[in-house]
Amino acid sequence: MAPRPNAGTKGVPRAEREQQILDVASIAFGTVGFAATNIADVARDAGISKPLIYNYFGSKEGLFAACLDASADLLATEIERIARGDAVGIERGLLTLAGMFEVLEDRRHVWRLLHDPSAPTTGRIAEVVRTHAARIDKLAHEGVHELLALAGVDDERDVSAMTATWLGIVDSLIDWWVAHPDEDAAAMTERASRLAVALLSDGQRGEA
């Protein structure tokens, strides 16, 4: 008798099977949102049984929390990679944006997953959000502190205000990019550089 298509996972290591489920579920959550995602559809697309998902992740919320954790880690790891380099100030900020664009190039669903308004805001999901928000906020604060120090600004409230502003700019810029799928990562990196130059310029032309 031929095996049922979703019956089992024999021969596939658990870690590999979990990653397969996360990949499929992340696309679903990042495409239609938490509320509209059906676990049965995720199981079908992953080629497994629905009970296996519950066995691995416990619930729909548990599956979303795992997807959220993996997605946030993907971006935070890239930001940390840039932070370990030698760039400071505006250069570090632009490299960070470039790295984020590159990571998200073929995974824009990841950004939508991270900003899903239909997702629960309690329990394990809230814990994941707090953990990664703190991780990214720390990196942003460090980068902004370096930038302002170059201009002789060391007031902690100035740093805090500018950090919040920078995080808002990053979120808004990537939101815009995700809404314009015809724009690739290279184009957005160039656009970010142009906008930075324009914002930092005094707007005055030299005399002829």
Q: Per-domain residue ranges for the chain?
A: 67-200
Taking the C-alpha atoms of residue 202 and residue 208, their distance in angstroms, rounded to an integer, is 17
Two tokens, residue 117: 């308004």
Contact between 139 and 83 under an 8 Å Cβ cutoff? The reply is yes
Say how many C-beta atoms besides its own lie within 10 A of residue 185's C-beta: 18
Structure tokens at 114: 């991270």
Is the CB of residue 148 less than 8 Å from the CB of residue 162?
yes
Splitting the chain (208 residues) into consecutive groups of 10 residues, what average pLDDT does each group show? 44 90 97 97 95 96 97 96 95 97 96 96 95 96 96 96 96 96 96 93 54
Identify the residue whose tokens are 């950004």: 111
pLDDT for 208 equals 42
> What angle (nearest 5°) sits at the alpha carbon of residue 161, between those of residues 160 and 163?
65
CA–CA distance, 22 with 29 (Å, rounded to integer)? 10
Architecture of domain 67-200: Orthogonal Bundle (1.10)
Both structure tokens of 78:
């890239």
* Torsions phi, psi for 179 (to 5 deg): -80, -5
Judge contact between 188 and 177, C-beta under 8 A. Answer: yes
Phi, psi at residue 33, to the nearest 5°? Answer: 90, 160
pTM for the full model? 0.87
Which residues, other chains included, contact 30 with Cβ-Cβ below 8 Å and sequence gap of 6+? 71, 108, 109, 110, 111, 112, 113, 116
